[in-house]
Amino acid sequence: MSNARYGELLRDPRWQRRRLEVMQRACWRCERCGDEKSELQVNHEQYVRGALPWDYPDEDLSCLCRTCHEQDRLTPKFHEQYETEPRDNYLLRKAQEIGLNYDEKAELAEFLRSSRRPA
């Protein structure tokens, strides 16, 4: 599914209603860190090909703050399970966006080299 198509689905009233249900269930706080002041987002714990965003059961949807949601996308599991850009590309793009200094970029590059799985 293209990112544009997925974005349209996230604007659908059925998803908007579902995400509010998830946030309400979480008492309007991040289920990972407890933050109740930051922007909240609903995270799909797993994706099922062809499933619509609002069709997931409660146990597959969690309420996360933006920071925790971003951290979730840094995990190898995210990039292995979801058909998205490769993890290394994502991490390097995020590093560029947040303006890492030289040492931080070097540390990230070392992490990427050390975390690759043998082919």
Residues 57 and 91 in one domain: no
Mean pLDDT by 10 residues, the chain (119 residues): 74 96 97 95 82 88 92 63 57 72 79 61
Give the pLDDT score at 119.
Answer: 43
Say whether both 47 and 87 belong to one domain.
no
pLDDT digits (tens, 9 = 90+) for 88-97: 665 676 677 7
pLDDT of residue 98: 74
User: Domain span at residue 118?
Assistant: 73-119
Using the structure block, give the residue that is written with the tokens 């994502």. Answer: 90
Q: What is the pLDDT of residue 40?
A: 97
Q: Rounded to an integer, what distance in angstroms lies between the CA atom of residue 39 and that of residue 67?
A: 9
In angstroms, rounded to a whole number, what is the distance separating the alpha carbons of residues 7 and 112? 29
Say yes or no: 4 and 53 in one domain.
yes
At 62 the pLDDT is 94
